[in-house]
């Protein structure tokens, strides 16, 4: 060795070595930034041609959600390993972002120190970054091993959706690993060089990646270290810009877009997107085309959703339609749209050959009609998505487009026509709507008023079509009426004046018909003069609560029961059959869509002697029974019924009675019990029926 | 290709409870809901698909009253270019031949290459298509379940034969075809579509426009008259299962197996 130099001299010589590349580095900076700016500008083109979407309100609430879902990574730990890995990687990225910028600047201005990190904060920050780089590097190693060895099922790409995404994922993970190594090597080479003349000036965080590399480089010649220092910098810079410019081509674009995607995410998830933002109902007739037919009919936020998907597969992993082999996978609703967008709006060359009109119809090209009709709008995908990507609005918008084009399955046309002419999907006579309540024996024990000129009440029991007309579900109607009667509620029904709530009509894309049903019901409800509404049908509940305007407040019967149990107005006889084990199935439109999870459970737990178990999939991870309303008429292509999987889940939990709180769940679950061959071993009962059965009527209230 | 579809408004069998009136000569019509005769709807869809392939216009005509405008609008919302209401007090009570004569007079007022009817009206007798062809001296094919345009002058049509077989015919234009349901999948007509055609004019044609002499059609000229209408009494061999749904299902299965229908 040609004489040991002082630490200061070493630093100078390293700086000088880096300075030789100053012009090159500057060039890479400029090229990299320009390239990224160009790509982002190109990616913005479809967003600017997209439909409107009002997402600029409530900045504080939106910031709060950014803190929770973006910075706080709220949804991630729902998947333990992947979630925690991601939290670490995300935290690492946030920490390293500042370092990455200062390192980039060091290349062109050797003595640059990030403002705020010149004093004591500097070394502390350095230690944190050393560990961050190490953690991110280790996470990458684990992630690659997961992808290659453990291959979680949700990453698999079914053949009909194209090739596996594994190679791309590993390529990107490796690039990040390289970035971490280069970053650490840069610090290690510098520290190793400085430690040669004597006591080290810089201390690296013990056992961190830079620290290990530094130990390995301790006896390396200074000149080699200089080259390493230079090389590490170059690799870091090239990798950094390559990643920056490559990410907008695939799943890692979410690194850039997630912040915006979460900021602009829908605030009122329960409320369906209007047919067109900024056009109110009265002017809807002037809108020529309804819904999404071509890519440009999506709103800009929905396109941003497509860009933001990280391909994590959680949506489809929870999608009941995917689980039973229907031709729908929410993940690929997004991936296919993104691929289409990238093809239609290429980075190089002019956008779709200079066409100014919209592209081809999406149905029949990237999506099939069956795929879009397969969704039950249960909301499991949206509940899971860490990036708050919206699916229901897109599905409904695509359906609106199909309905507008007349592309509706024959099996749905009859019930829709019947809803138009008779106000219910079964085509039954309006005058028979109250038949369930008018049976003589029942009227004697529990009189139900039909509201009208001569009859008024405080509370309206909104029955809806299935409970009014279906023989089996009428029992839920009678149980509900008896409960209301028991607690002394002054209530009545609309009878023939009640039309279907239109909940599924709207979700199946027939907005105009929905509006007619809604307007009729709103008029009838207001004319009845009631103060509040109760329903035992979560779909009607959701419609009245979120789709209707200017109607009195609405409650689901489970809320009423829970309140009356607490108030002591409802007391229960103990369950007599000691062998019954109950489990509660959360209806999608009561649970996920309206967060009513506890009231039904509290009611069950108030019944003496009732043994209750939870299914693995419960509360916000409840598994859809198969869908309600018009979904009962649709004939999906599927390997198995959703309900069958659901009753098997109940059996696995050790239950032999499934309690639900929705007439559609009852249809699906009772059918499924038979299909699954569990007749005699499993039964289903509605919460209202169970309560009615167990109410202690002789106890004074 | 100029296509005329003759359509009719009928009580919708799936959305009504059909009951006899007290006089016993017709059904109770007070609370009925009506819609286009199902087979006619298939005919309109087929016409629209033909026009989409080879160009032209689709006209839908019905013989009836003001209430029947409803189905014309529905078919216009579906995509038909014109709706025509053929209406006159003098047409009331016409039999099948009378309706065919009225339609013949209307056809001769225009130039149609192809005339489609449904195979039969749900409350009718499957008469009008064939009679219209005969009155016009046009060739006729019934029970048509596919149409292919060969050139400007000929069609290749397939007819459904009892037992599910198919017969392929060539037929010269102009011609009359009666369309079997299932020939296509009719598109959905939503409320929005109907609203959008709500203000389009629907021309009406009566005896004077069509040049039909008074007394040639209508009740007086009808040679087929309905004298009774009844629900047939249950015959022997018909068994009505009176149990609960579950019991009935079991019973049906048992019977089907007993008769060798299921093995």
Where residue A2 falls among pLDDT bands split at 50, 70, 90?
A: very low
Q: Are the CB atoms for A197 and A10 separated by under 8 Å?
A: yes
Spatial separation of the C-alpha atoms in residues A383 and A314, rounded to whole Å: 10
Tell whether A405 lies on the interface with B, counting CB pairs under 8 A.
yes
Count CB atoms within 10 A of the CB of residue B17.
Answer: 12
Beta strands in B31-137 (DSSP E): 34-36, 57-63, 82-86, 114-118
Where residue A190 falls among pLDDT bands split at 50, 70, 90?
A: confident
**Are A356 and A313 in the same domain?**
yes
**Are A209 and A358 in the same domain?**
no
Residue A21 lies in a domain: yes
Q: What is the pLDDT, as a whole number, of residue A141?
A: 95
Q: Is the pLDDT of residue A4 over 60?
A: no
Q: Is the pLDDT of residue A525 over 80?
A: yes
Q: What is the CATH number of the domain that holds A287?
A: 1.10.1060
Q: Is the pLDDT of residue A122 over 90?
A: no
Mention every residue, 6+ apart, whose C-beta is less than 8 A from residue A316: A154, A322, A329, A330, A331, A332, A381
Q: How far A405 CA lies from chain B's nearest CA (Å)? A: 8
B11, B17, B19, B21 alpha-carbon torsion, rounded to 10°: -60
Closest CA in chain A for residue B33: A421
Q: What is the pLDDT, as a whole number, of residue B226?
A: 82
Q: What is the pLDDT, as a whole number, of residue A317?
A: 96
Residue A515 lies in a domain: yes
Residue A570 lies in a domain: no
| Contact residues, chain B, for A422 at CB < 8 Å | 15, 33
Q: What is the pLDDT, as a whole number, of residue A119?
A: 74
Tell whether A427 lies on the interface with B, counting CB pairs under 8 A.
yes
Q: What confidence tens digit (pLDDT) does each residue in B96-134 have?
A: 999 999 999 999 999 999 999 999 998 888 899 999 999
Tell whether B31 lies on the interface with A, counting CB pairs under 8 A.
yes
pTM of the predicted model, to two decimals? Answer: 0.92
Q: Which of residues 161-220 of A touch B (CB under 8 A)?
A: none
Give the rounded distance of the alpha carbon of A487 from its chain centre. Answer: 39
Q: Is the pLDDT of residue A1 over 60?
A: no
- Domain assignment of residue A150, given as a range: 7-255
Tell whether B41 lies on the interface with A, counting CB pairs under 8 A.
no
Q: What is the mean pLDDT of residues B66-89?
A: 95
| Contact residues, chain A, for B35 at CB < 8 Å | 417, 421
How many separate domains does chain A show?
Answer: 4
| Contact residues, chain A, for B196 at CB < 8 Å | 285
**Are A196 and A95 in the same domain?**
yes
Q: What is the pLDDT, as a whole number, of residue A8?
A: 72
Please provide the average confidence, as pLDDT, over all residues in chain B.
91
Q: Is the pLDDT of residue A577 over 80?
A: yes
**Are A560 and A592 in the same domain?**
no
Task: Specify the higher pLDDT residue, B80 or A159.
Answer: B80
Q: Which of A275, A535, A406, A520 has its CA nearest to residue A416?
A: A406
Q: How far A475 CA lies from chain B's nearest CA (Å)? A: 15
Q: φ, ψ for residue A666 (rounded to 5)?
A: -65, -45
Three-state DSSP at A115 gives coil
Q: Is the pLDDT of residue B156 over 70?
A: yes
Residue A191 lies in a domain: yes
**Are A285 and A139 in the same domain?**
no
**Are A251 and A288 in the same domain?**
no
Q: What is the mean pLDDT of residues A112-131?
A: 82
Q: What confidence tens digit (pLDDT) does each residue in B83-94 have?
A: 999 999 999 999
Closest CA in chain B for residue A671: B246
Where residue A3 falls among pLDDT bands split at 50, 70, 90?
A: very low
- A513 vs B185: CB contact, 8 Å cut-off? no
- A512 vs B190: CB contact, 8 Å cut-off? yes
Q: What confidence tens digit (pLDDT) does each residue in A436-460 have?
A: 999 888 989 999 999 988 889 999 9
**Are A328 and A425 in the same domain?**
no
**Are A443 and A349 in the same domain?**
no
Please provide the average confidence, as pLDDT, over all residues in chain A.
92
**Are A527 and A441 in the same domain?**
yes
Q: What confidence tens digit (pLDDT) does each residue in A231-245 have?
A: 999 999 999 999 999
- Best A290, A401, A409, A417 residue to mutate vs chain B (most B CBs within 10 Å): A417
**Are A382 and A424 in the same domain?**
no
- B189 vs A406: CB contact, 8 Å cut-off? yes
Q: Is the pLDDT of residue A637 over 70?
A: yes
- Best B74, B183, B191, B250 residue to mutate vs chain A (most A CBs within 10 Å): B191
Q: Are the CB atoms for A76 and A388 separated by under 8 Å?
A: no
Q: Which of A137-151, B26-40, B200-214 has the lowest mean pLDDT?
A: B26-40
Q: Are the CB atoms for A438 and A495 separated by under 8 Å?
A: no
- Exposed/middle/buried for B233, CB within 10 Å: 0-12, 13-18, 19+? exposed
Q: Is the pLDDT of residue A200 over 60?
A: no
**Are A632 and A544 in the same domain?**
no
Q: What is the pLDDT, as a whole number, of residue A355?
A: 57
- A510 vs B190: CB contact, 8 Å cut-off? yes
Spatial separation of the C-alpha atoms in residues A503 and A517, rounded to whole Å: 10
Q: What is the CATH number of the domain that holds A646?
A: 3.40.50
Q: Which of A396, A337, A391, A389 has its CA nearest to residue A362?
A: A337
**Are A554 and A588 in the same domain?**
no
> Which among A533, A564, A595 is the end of a domain?
A564
Q: How far B242 CA lies from chain A's nearest CA (Å)? A: 15
Spatial separation of the C-alpha atoms in residues B261 and A197, rounded to whole Å: 98
| Contact residues, chain A, for B33 at CB < 8 Å | 421-422
Q: Which of A99-113, A253-267, A371-385, B96-110 has the lowest mean pLDDT?
A: A99-113
Q: Is the pLDDT of residue A182 over 60?
A: yes
Spatial separation of the C-alpha atoms in residues A365 and A358, rounded to whole Å: 14
Three-state DSSP at A198 gives coil
Q: What is the mean pLDDT of residues A334-348?
A: 93
Q: Is the pLDDT of residue A120 over 80?
A: no
Domain positions in chain B: 2-210, 232-263
Q: How far A674 CA lies from chain B's nearest CA (Å)? A: 11
* Three-state DSSP string of A519-582: HHHHHHHHHHCCCEEEECCHHHHHHHHHHCCCCCCEEEHHHHHHHHHHCCCCCECCCCCCCCEE
Spatial separation of the C-alpha atoms in residues B175 and A553, rounded to whole Å: 62
| Contact residues, chain A, for B192 at CB < 8 Å | 285, 290, 404, 511-512
Residue A574 lies in a domain: no
Q: What is the pLDDT, as a whole number, of residue A353?
A: 52
Q: Which of A270, A275, A306, A295 has its CA nearest to residue A385?
A: A306
| Contact residues, chain A, for B189 at CB < 8 Å | 406
Identify the bridge partners of residue A584 per DSSP, sorted by sequence position: A659
**CATH code reported for the domain at B2-210:** 3.40.50.620
Q: How far A488 CA lies from chain B's nearest CA (Å)? A: 34
């Amino acid at each position: 060795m040609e004489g040991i130099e002082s630490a200061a001299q070493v630093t100078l010589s390293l700086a000088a070595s880096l300075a030789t590349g100053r012009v090159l580095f500057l060039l890479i900076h400029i090229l990299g930034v320009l390239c990224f700016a160009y790509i982002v500008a190109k990616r913005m083109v479809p967003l600017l041609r997209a439909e409107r979407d009002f997402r600029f309100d409530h900045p504080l609430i939106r910031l709060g959600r950014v803190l929770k879902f973006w910075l706080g990574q709220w949804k991630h730990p729902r998947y333990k390993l992947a979630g925690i890995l991601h939290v670490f990687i995300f935290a690492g990225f946030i920490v390293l972002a500042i370092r990455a910028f200062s390192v980039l600047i060091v290349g062109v201005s050797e003595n640059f120190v990030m403002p705020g990190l010149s004093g004591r904060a500097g070394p502390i920050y350095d230690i944190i970054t050393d560990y961050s780089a190490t953690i991110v590097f280790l996470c990458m190693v684990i992630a690659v091993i997961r992808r290659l060895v453990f291959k979680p099922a949700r990453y698999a790409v079914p053949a009909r959706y194209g090739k596996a995404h594994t190679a791309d994922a590993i390529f990107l993970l490796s690039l990040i690993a390289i970035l971490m190594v280069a970053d650490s090597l840069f610090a290690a080479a510098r520290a190793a060089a400085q430690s040669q003349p004597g006591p080290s000036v810089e201390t690296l965080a013990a056992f961190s990646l830079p620290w290990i590399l530094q130990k390995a480089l301790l006896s390396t010649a200074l000149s080699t270290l200089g080259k390493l220092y230079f090389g590490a910098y170059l690799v870091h810079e090239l990798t950094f810009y390559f990643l920056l410019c490559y990410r907008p081509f695939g799943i890692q674009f979410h690194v850039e877009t997630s912040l915006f995607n979460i900021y602009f995410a829908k605030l009122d998830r329960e409320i369906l997107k209007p047919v067109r933002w900024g056009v109110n109902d009265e002017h809807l007739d002037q809108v020529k085309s309804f819904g999404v037919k071509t890519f440009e009919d999506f709103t800009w936020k929905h396109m941003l959703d497509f860009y933001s998907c990280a391909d994590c597969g959680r949506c489809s992993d929870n999608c009941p339609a995917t689980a039973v082999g229907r031709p729908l996978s929410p993940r690929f609703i997004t991936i296919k749209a993104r691929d289409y967008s990238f093809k239609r709006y290429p980075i190089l060359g002019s956008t779709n050959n200079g066409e100014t009109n919209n592209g081809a119809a999406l149905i029949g090209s990237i999506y099939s009609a069956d795929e879009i009709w397969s969704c039950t709008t249960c909301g499991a995908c949206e509940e899971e998505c860490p990036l708050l990507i919206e699916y229901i609005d897109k599905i409904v918008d695509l359906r609106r487009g199909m309905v507008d084009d007349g592309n509706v399955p024959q099996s749905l046309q009859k019930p829709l026509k019947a809803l138009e002419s008779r106000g219910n999907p079964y085509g039954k006579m309006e005058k028979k709507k109250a038949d369930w309540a008018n049976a003589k024996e029942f009227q004697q024990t529990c009189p139900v008023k039909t509201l009208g000129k001569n009859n008024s009440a405080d509370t309206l029991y909104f029955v809806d079509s299935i409970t009014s007309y279906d023989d089996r579900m009428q029992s839920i109607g009678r149980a509900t009426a008896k409960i209301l009667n028991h607690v002394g509620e002054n209530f009545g029904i609309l009878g023939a004046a009640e039309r279907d709530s239109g909940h599924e009509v709207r979700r199946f894309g027939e907005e105009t018909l929905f509006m007619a049903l809604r307007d009729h019901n709103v008029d009838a409800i207001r004319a009845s003069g009631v103060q509040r509404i109760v329903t035992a049908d979560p779909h009607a509940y959701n419609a009245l609560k979120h789709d209707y305007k200017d109607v009195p407040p609405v409650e689901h019967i489970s809320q009423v029961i829970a309140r009356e149990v607490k108030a002591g107005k409802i007391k229960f006889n103990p369950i007599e059959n000691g062998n019954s084990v109950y489990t509660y199935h959360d209806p999608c439109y009561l649970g996920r869509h309206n967060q009513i999870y506890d009231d039904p459970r509290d009611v069950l737990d108030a019944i003496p002697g009732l043994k209750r178990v939870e299914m693995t999939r419960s509360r916000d991870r409840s598994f859809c029974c198969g869908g309600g309303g018009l979904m009962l008429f649709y004939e999906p292509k599927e390997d198995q019924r959703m309900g069958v999987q659901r009753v098997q889940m109940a059996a696995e939990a050790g239950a032999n009675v499934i309690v639900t709180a929705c007439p559609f769940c009852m249809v699906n679950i009772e059918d499924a019990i038979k299909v699954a061959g569990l007749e005699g071993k499993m039964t289903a009962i509605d919460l209202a029926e169970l309560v009615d059965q167990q109410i202690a009527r002789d106890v004074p209230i | 290709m100029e296509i005329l579809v003759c359509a009719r408004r009928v009580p919708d069998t799936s959305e009504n409870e059909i009951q006899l009136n007290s006089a016993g000569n017709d059904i109770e019509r007070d609370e009925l809901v009506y819609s286009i005769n199902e087979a006619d709807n298939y005919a309109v869809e087929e016409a629209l698909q033909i026009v989409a392939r080879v160009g032209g216009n689709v006209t839908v005509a019905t013989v009836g009253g003001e209430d029947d405008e409803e189905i014309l609008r529905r078919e216009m919302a579906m995509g038909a270019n014109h709706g025509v209401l053929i209406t006159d007090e003098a047409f009331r009570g016409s039999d099948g031949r009378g309706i065919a004569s009225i339609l013949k007079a209307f056809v001769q007022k225009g130039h149609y290459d192809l005339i489609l009817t449904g195979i039969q009206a749900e409350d009718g007798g499957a008469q009008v298509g064939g009679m219209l062809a005969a009155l016009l001296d046009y060739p006729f094919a019934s029970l048509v379940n596919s149409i292919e345009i060969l050139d400007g002058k000929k069609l290749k049509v397939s007819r459904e034969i009892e037992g599910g077989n198919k017969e392929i015919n060539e037929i010269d234009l102009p011609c009359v075809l009666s369309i079997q349901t299932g020939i296509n999948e009719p598109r959905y007509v939503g409320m929005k579509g109907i609203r959008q055609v709500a203000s389009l004019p629907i021309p009406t044609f009566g005896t004077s426009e069509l040049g039909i002499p008074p007394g040639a059609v209508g009740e007086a000229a009808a040679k087929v008259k309905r004298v009774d209408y009844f629900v047939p009494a249950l015959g022997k061999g018909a068994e009505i299962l009176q149990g609960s749904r579950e019991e009935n299902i079991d019973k049906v299965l048992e019977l089907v197996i007993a008769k060798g229908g299921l093995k």
